[in-house]
Structure 1
Amino acid sequence: MTEKLYYWAESLENYISDNEVQNDQLLEIKRLNFFIGKNNAGKSRFLRTLFMSNYPSGFYNFPELVKNLNILKIRLPELEAEFGYTSSFSNIKNNYQDLIKDLEQSKTSQLIFLNSSIKSTLERDSKIANLFMDYNFFEITDEQVSKISEVFLNQFYIPILRGMRPVTDLQNKQPYIDRAQKDYFIDTNKFNAKNIITGECLYHELKIHLLGEPEQREIIKSYEEKLSQYFFDNEPVSLIPKHDQDVVNIKIGNDAQRPIFELGDGLQQAIILTYEAYIKSKDKEGNLETHAFFIEEPELHMHAGMVRQLMNFYLNETKHYYFFTTHSNHLLDMADESDQVMIQKFVKQPKEDNPNEFEFKIYRCDRDRDLLASLGVRPSSVYLANCTIWVEGITDRLYIIKYMEKYLAELEKIDEELYKNYRRFMPNYHYTFVEYAGSNLTHWSFDDDYPKTREERISFLQQDRGQSATAVASDMLLIADGDIQKNSEKIKFLRKELNKDNLIILDCKETENTLPKDSIIRVVKAKFPRLKQVKPSYDISLIDHITQDDYFDNAQYGIGRLIDEKIKKPTSTTTKTAFADGTGVGTIKDKLKFCREIIKDFDEYSDWKLTPKAKQLCERIFNHIEKCNS
């Protein structure tokens, strides 16, 4: 599903969305949607309201008609008061009611007719049309209306009260679901065990599948393989609904079979949060299905690395859409790594017209200080991973993450055993990244013999030898750009304090020089029309003259200068650069924006290949991670 999706919060009161479509009742959504904010900011109530949504509220991939519906709803009482039951008013009212019904039944062919009918009525009756001056109905085409589709087949809610261990001996009782119904869902015929997932019935679900048809047993086997891949370091996993117990047993690798309560609570959560999502990812014929899952606090009892693996599981193994309330700061950088992640911040604030009442403002955000503050994150947060990879900045981290993903995808085809070994490594658990900024390296000491006593530390700091890297981060691999070579003192310092296995100095100017040629050219071609004041001096068609794959692999210059040299017109004498950040070594302009466009290109052109140096870099990184986690 490539088009943008929106939730129309027609049935929500006191919620206002701050979004790019300038409609405070529309909320843009993506595959993974994180709702963050302080306690009592309205996140959970909003999540449950989305789950319970009835038409016309709901999810749409074309919001313009939805905005028209909202205007119609507001204007109908005005029409009735002014015109009574004239034929024009009756036509619009009947068409509005029919539109609502057809949206519920996803009859897009009828929607086209009804939308046209409303337009015709407004064209005939200028008085009624005047009540719709704030929106132009005639801008909506039949082709656009036909894009409206049923986005999700079903919607499921996972409350914070969940667990795989029964809490009552009564037959056919599920206390967690009963509690959720009593607290939140009055209509128990509509909201029940069919769409509320608590983990209580997993034992019986597994028994039904394992004693059922061959395809039911096969999907459990497939699910166990995915659990092994994402959560159990590739150790074989078996889920067993043992006949003389009421809880699921688990066998991991060569370990003895154990009841679920003898394992960590985090593993129980991982199973609860993935089982239904995976089981419901295909229909009986094997066709992919898309549902919506509304999940309270997915990080409950789970290590940060395991939560990240959970999100990778959702993105890679299902096509569903997910909505989370969360207080986990470990999920925030996923917005940098995938364009399928959306973070919405909830803020409770007094109403402007009545300070004694409150409203909830929803802000779309990516990375900012307020975002971290909303989650209670402080500068004293520490690294928890088993090893660290030090990179010069955010762009290097984002490129390397994509390189590692591609390396694994290519490795699966040529060395399945090594692939299985490497794919088990979880970000923020087995490894994490540290961004150090190149000029700050001299402020760090990488010496393992950092002083232990208070007196030794004071003496050490007085010598201005820098802060201890080992004091704040575990086993490290430091990756430095090749342009560090010009600073012999810094090179000498690093090689003295880090052994060769823990130091990588690129033999090209910077990480951008390891990018694949075709991706750079595509992004440059897309960016060039947006440049100002340089077009007369540069000819973007000249970039097609780059034929050698290693053109950008340069130890002296950045790709910005290499691009400019190629596309500058032979007759031009300008000193203005097009893509280089200045006339010196030629680092690319707007590195972060360029990085995001490269990553977007990677996602759109999945057949891109790692350059030799990018592949070598990945090999060194995975060797380091493996050594530190053996």
Structure 2
Amino acid sequence: MKSFYDLIFFKSTGFKDYFLNEEEEPMSFLPKFNKINIIVGANNSGKSRFIRNLMSFQNLEGVIDLAKIRVFVPLYNEQVAEANKLIESNITTYQYRSDNTYYSGGTNPDLQNVKLLSNNYLKTLDIDLFKEFSSIINANKNSINNLSHLGVKNLYLRDFNEIDNLFLKEYKSIKRYYIPTLRTAHSLFNFDLEKYSKIETDVFLKTLNNYYKLDKIDVEVFTGIHLYKEILNARNSKREIRQSFEKFENFIGKYFFDNKKIDIVAEFNKDESLIGNNNLENISVYIEGDKETRELYELGDGIQAIIILMYKIYMAESDSFIFIDEPEINLHPGMQRLFLEQITENKDLEKKNLTYIITTHSNHFLDLTIEKENVSIYSFSPKKIINGDKQFIIKNVNRGDNKLLQDLGVNNSSVFMANCSIWVEGISDRNYIKAFLKSYCHSVGKSYPKEDIDFAFFEYAGSNIDHYIFNDKVEKEDVEIVLNDIKALAISNRIFLLADSDASKQNSKKGLRLKELEDAKVDNFIPKVIWNTREVENLLTNEMWKEILIEFCNKTLVKSNEADILLKIDKAFSEVDYSGFAKKYVGEFLEEIRNKMGKISSTFIVNQSAYEVKSDGSFGTIINKRELSELVFNKNFSWEILSKNKEIEKLTIEIYNFITQKK
């Protein structure tokens, strides 16, 4: 099941100025609400106002308290494919009678009073009645033919007991935290009567309350000004709170102090405090092995910024909503990546089941989200002004849709803020290199280099370099221009360029061009052509394919014959060696495996749709390169397995040494 829902607002006046896509009626739901929801748009496009409205949900007239927000959960389950079609475009509910009452059901309901609402279904949705309808369906499964006029298929009704809990989700007693743009890790001081005195009042919070009346909302606002007191209380609180704080300390130690144990302490001088001297309230960081303790204000702005963001997230109650305005403030692109990786992948935070609503102006932050499954992006833009009120358009951008990024002028600008860059043809190659590097670093006990700080990936597919490498019709002057451009870029940024040979012979036109690329090598530009395989995908081994091949098998057959299919996979790989396909297309290999594994109940086990089948009957490359690379990346193959392929071993060590500037 997908992680996103449609978040329902129920006739909310708070969103009367917001419109989905080009609809004429104000929005009544937010489509594909996810674990992480990122809101982007130009200044004054309604982003911050939107999340404040969402935070103040309980105070809007006629709106259900945010603590009881109801969510409609679409179905994404192969067993109920027919229901998927139905629920994606419609919602089953009761039809109003002339007297504005609903039909209340019973053991033998008048099913003619049930209708399907299409187009803007959520505007008239009543969740409680939907629940009631589901109960009626379950009580009357023997009468399912009576619903045939609705287009409801038997499969939907038969499985209703199993899927009923996927339709609806209720958030109860939601705790909300807000991290605004007004935030700092510093205590604030005032100079008065020839001495400095700490400002005890959270002036940031007072300012926000004055502007936006946040004190009227049941939300905890964290500006960081009282970080000292937060830490003091956390270190002297009950065990579960202290454990959360220890996990936060471990995070800071791991990523900023070479995995050393650290202690973050709110220093307290009892005697001075008793006489009213609070100027000595400092936050200090002790790092294992250091002679002296460091003061928090002496650390870099980036570390202080990440502390403000991550502290409240680590300390948040489970199942909370976290609202953050512009997390990129004072964050280098590498720190932005670190922040996003923590909220999407950190196991301790995953257990908290937190939901994030984030506004951002960072192109780089947006670019990073393309890799993530549990992220939804919403583009906000002005619509028009009616009676002095500004209106806004909201568009949801699905994962993998790069149009929004292009519209915002997104490019790999972080390449020039990192110490070096790795140029690859596309995202699949990037995933392979990351998988290889992480496994290698783990095996030798080294820290994985910080992406976008120590190095950054640059995908050159679609650019001049891609045209130069792969297009047979390249003019001589194009070659010279491209090589000169690369060398010019390499002056300010060290470049490692990885290129597939596509099994080209070195004396072919393409081969000669790739050889010219290799010959252009200089100290800051290292071109690497993989001559011995067609594509990076060809570096995989039998052992790796055995672990992932089941993902390319018929899902229905796997469900009922998994043990038998696993045995067939083992047998097929004992007869077919992937290394023999090093310079062939992946599809040729998969076709042979497909024939070796054969059929179950007249159906081939391996899906031929996974790879290209050409009109002449030959077979091409795998169709979804990204999916294959993600399967490899997520398997976390050990270096013992990866290094069995000497090409992987050589390439990985070469890239690692390039990043770390080892010869």
Taking structure 2 as the reference length, what is the TM-score of the superposition? 0.67
Q: Counterparts of 1:383-422 in structure 2 under 5 Å?
A: 383-405=416-438, 411=442, 415=444, 418=445, 421-422=446-447
Work out whether residues 483 and 520 of structure 2, in 8 Å CA contact, stay in contact via their aligned partners in 1: no
Please list, as runs of the form range in 1=range in 2, the aligned pairs for 1:511-550 lying within 5 A after superposition.
511-515=536-540, 516-518=544-546, 521-526=549-554, 545-547=572-574, 550=577
- Deviation string 1:391-441 (CA, Å, 9 cap, x unpaired) is 223321233334445555xx2xx55xx2xx323x22211111122359965
- The partner residue of 1:178 within 206, 229, 234 is 206
Q: Kindly report which structure 2 residues correspond to 1:466-615, keeping only aligned pairs within 5 A, or say none.
A: 466-473=483-490, 474-483=493-502, 486-488=505-507, 489-490=512-513, 492-498=515-521, 502-506=526-530, 507-515=532-540, 516-518=544-546, 521-526=549-554, 545-547=572-574, 550-551=577-578, 554-567=581-594, 579-580=611-612, 582=614, 587-590=620-623, 593-596=624-627, 599=630, 603=634, 611=642, 612-613=644-645, 614=648
Matched, 1:363 2:382: no
Opposite residue 252 of structure 2, the aligned amino acid is L
Closer, same or farther: CA 465–296 of 1 in aligned 2, 3 Å: closer
Q: Distance in 2 between matches of 1:505 and 1:338?
A: 29
Matched residues in 2 for 1:526 and 1:86: separation? 45
Report how far residue 47 of structure 1 moved. 2.0
How has the CA–CA distance of structure 1 residues 200 and 422 changed in structure 2, closer, same or farther, with 3 Å as cutoff? same
User: Against the structure 1 CA distance between its residues 548 and 38, is the aligned structure 2 distance closer, same or farther, given a 3 Å change threshold?
Assistant: farther
- Is this contact kept in 1: 2:92–2:130, CA < 8 A? no
Q: 1:567 to 1:321 in 2, by over 3 A?
A: same
Pairwise CA distance, 1:293? 1.1
Report if the CA contact (8 A) 1:42-1:360 is conserved: no
Provide the secondary structure at the position in 2 that maps to 1:556. Answer: coil
Corresponding residue SS for 1:344: strand
Q: Which residue number in structure 2 is paired with residue 46 of structure 1? A: 50
Match of 2:378 among 320, 329, 344: 344
- The AA in structure 2 aligned to 1:9 is F
Kindly indicate whether residue 99 of structure 2 is the aligned counterpart of residue 83 of structure 1.
yes
1:452 is matched with none
CA distance in 2, matches of 1:395, 1:422: 23
Q: Aligned in 2, Cα 1:379/1:567: closer, same or farther, shift over 3 Å?
A: closer
Task: Report deviation, 1:324.
Answer: 1.1
Aligned to 1:430: 454
1:296, distance to aligned residue in structure 2 (A): 0.4
Alpha-carbon distance between aligned partners in 2 of 1:490 and 1:608, rounded to the nearest angstrom? 36
Q: Deviations over 1:116-137 (max 9, x none)?
A: 5788999xxxxxx9xxx9999x
How many matched pairs?
544
Alignment of 1:145-294 (within 5 A): 145-147=164-166, 148-151=168-171, 153-167=174-188, 173-185=201-213, 188=216, 190-191=218-219, 195-212=220-237, 217-234=242-259, 236-243=261-268, 245-251=280-286, 254=290, 256-280=292-316, 289-294=318-323
Q: In structure 1, what is the Cα distance between the partners aligned to 2:480 and 2:2?
A: 57
Cα contact 1:342–1:364 (8 A) shared by 2: yes
- Deviation, structure 1 residue 112: 8.6
Query: Per-residue CA shift, 1:110-161, capped at 9, x if unaligned?
Result: 9997445788999xxxxxx9xxx9999x979455443434457522111111
Once residues 372 and 138 of structure 2 are traced to their aligned partners in structure 1, the CA distance between those partners, rounded to angstroms, is 44
* Range that drifts further, 546-555 or 32-41: 546-555
What is the alpha-carbon distance in structure 2 between the residues aligned to residue 366 and residue 116 of structure 1? Answer: 32
Q: Secondary structure at the match of 1:200?
A: coil
The answer (yes or no) to whether the contact 2:546–2:569 under 8 Å persists in 1 is no
Q: Report the 3-state secondary structure (helix = DSSP H, G, I; strand = E; otherwise coil) of the residue aligned with 2:252.
A: helix
- Contact 2:421–2:455 (8 Å) recurs in 1: yes
Task: Name the CA distance, whole Å, in 2 between partners of 1:182 and 1:115.
Answer: 46
Deviations 1:438-482 (A, max 9, x none): 99659889xxxxxxxxxxxxxx99965732324324222232325
* Counterparts in 2 of 1:355 and 1:397: CA distance versus 1, 3 Å: farther
TM-score, reference length from structure 1: 0.70
8 Å CA contact retained: 1:174, 1:200:
yes
Structure-2 residue corresponding to 1:33: 37
CA–CA distance in structure 1, aligned partners of residues 247 and 653 of structure 2: 29
Call closer, same or farther: CA 1:215–1:17 in 2, change over 3 Å: same
| Cα distance, 1:207 vs structure 2 | 1.4
Structure 2 distance, partners of 1:551, 1:120, is: 51
Would the aligned equivalents of 2:538 and 2:583 in 1 still touch at CA under 8 Å?
no
CA shift, 1:44, in A, is: 1.5
Higher share of residues assigned strand: 2
Q: Offset at 1:280?
A: 3.2
- In structure 2, distance between residues paired with 1:162 and 1:384: 25
- 1:9 is matched with which residue? 9
SS at match of 1:240: strand
Contact 1:158 1:198 in 2 (8 A): yes
Do the aligned partners of residues 407 and 87 (structure 1) sit closer, same or farther apart at CA in structure 2, a change above 3 Å counting?
same
Task: Report what 1:457 is aligned to.
Answer: none
Q: CA deviation at 1:554?
A: 2.9
C-alpha distance in structure 2 between counterparts of 1:179 and 1:355, whole Å? 25
Distance 1:66 1:581 in 2: 32
Query: Quick check: 1:292–1:322 contact (8 Å CA) kept in 2?
Result: yes
Range moving further from structure 2, 355-364 or 307-316? 355-364
